[in-house]
Amino acid sequence: MRYLSGIQPTGRLHLGNYFGMIRPAVEREAYYFLADYHALTGAAEPGKLAGLAQDAFLDLLACGVDPEKAVVFRQSAVPEVHELAWYLSTVTPMGLLERCHSYKDKVGKGLSPSHGLFAYPVLMAADILLYDADRVPVGQDQKQHLEVARDIAGKFNDKYGPVFKLPESIIREEAGVVPGVDGQKMSKSYNNTLELFAPEKELRKAIMGIKTDSTPVEAPKAVEGSTLWGLVRLMGTEAERAEYRGRMEKGGTGYGDLKKSLADLVLREFEPLRKKREELASDPVRVERWMKDGAAKARKTAELVLQRVRAAVGTKP
């Protein structure tokens, strides 16, 4: 059973990425890649991409992805993905892409409506199909893209025979949508994130700034639907979560204290990861070697799949 997931190296990793996409696949036979081609459809500043990809690589490793077991690589280390994307695009109905929410949302938020942004789901399907992935852990917002990938694989198979496995998404239901400090979905594009590897002071400050209602200290606080609980429920032990919930329900604890406890919990939960990241960053040679090894392994798998595809469509580069 092969797991595969990708993340755009567009900024520092946040709690939403961790609970939505990284944790569900850690310790599986997994392919993880940094979607740097995809990142070009966004607002990334020219000249920054290489550094961001390097950072994201360290982030993944610090989160427990083992570079000896998993295959971790940059998307652009396997440029053959574009060859596959082209074959796939020839069987992709326009209507399928026109229905994608993500394109409309991004254009609505001011991203340039480029062909790259529109064709994004085709490249994403190629990312998945090029490595014969069985399961793709992603956050809820990527579910439609996964359905599109399955549709495209199905169309290709209908035309050329059974070349591709149909990948399945894994949406970690219990993670659902991780809320950001303003209560909306945590997202880089909303500027409401809690960054996993931010300095302690910054992280505490961000948590103390979480938007809450004006319930007085003595009164019970609403639990379900609150941002504080939306984060606490993902961390700590069962007993700790029950205790926190109890303090909210009982009243007598102000939001300031509740936020402080949340900050302590977040810092404790991620302390080992933060230490590991520092350790990794101090050995760039080792990191470089892992990156190269990951790219070589990914390319080998991709080559085998492409042979199958080329034989089916009748090309021979």
- Chain residues that interact with ligand ADP, rule: CB under 6 A: 7-8, 16-17, 20-21, 138-139, 141-142, 175, 177-178, 185-189
Query: With CB cut-offs between 5 and 8 Å by kind, which of ligand TRP, ligand ADP, none does residue 136 bind?
Result: ligand TRP
CB of 194 to ligand ADP, least distance (A): 10
Q: Compute the half-sphere exposure of residue 78: CA atoms within 13 Å on the CB side of its CA.
A: 34
The whole-angstrom separation of Cα 258 and Cα 252 is 11
**Which residues, including other chains, have CB under 8 Å from residue 46's CB and lie 6 or more apart?**
none
Query: With CB cut-offs between 5 and 8 Å by kind, which of ligand TRP, ligand ADP, none does residue 17 bind?
Result: ligand ADP
The whole-angstrom separation of Cα 184 and Cα 131 is 34
**Which residues, including other chains, have CB under 8 Å from residue 90's CB and lie 6 or more apart?**
none
Give the interface with ligand TRP as residue ranges (CB under 6 A). 4-8, 35, 38, 124, 127-128, 136, 138, 142, 145
CB of 137 to ligand ADP, least distance (A): 7
Query: With CB cut-offs between 5 and 8 Å by kind, which of ligand ADP, ligand TRP, none does residue 29 bind?
Result: none
CB of 13 to ligand TRP, least distance (A): 12
Query: With CB cut-offs between 5 and 8 Å by kind, which of ligand ADP, ligand TRP, none does residue 212 bind?
Result: none
Query: With CB cut-offs between 5 and 8 Å by kind, which of ligand TRP, ligand ADP, none does residue 6 bind?
Result: ligand TRP
The whole-angstrom separation of Cα 57 and Cα 287 is 8
Identify whether the C-beta of residue 284 lies closer than 8 Å to the C-beta of residue 58: no
End-to-end alpha-carbon separation of the chain, Å?
30
CB of 148 to ligand ADP, least distance (A): 15
Is the sign of the CA dihedral 90, 91, 96, 100 positive or negative?
Answer: negative
Nearer to ligand ADP, 114 or 184 (CB): 184
Nearer to ligand TRP, 128 or 206 (CB): 128
For residue 144, how many other CB atoms are within 10 A of its CB? 15
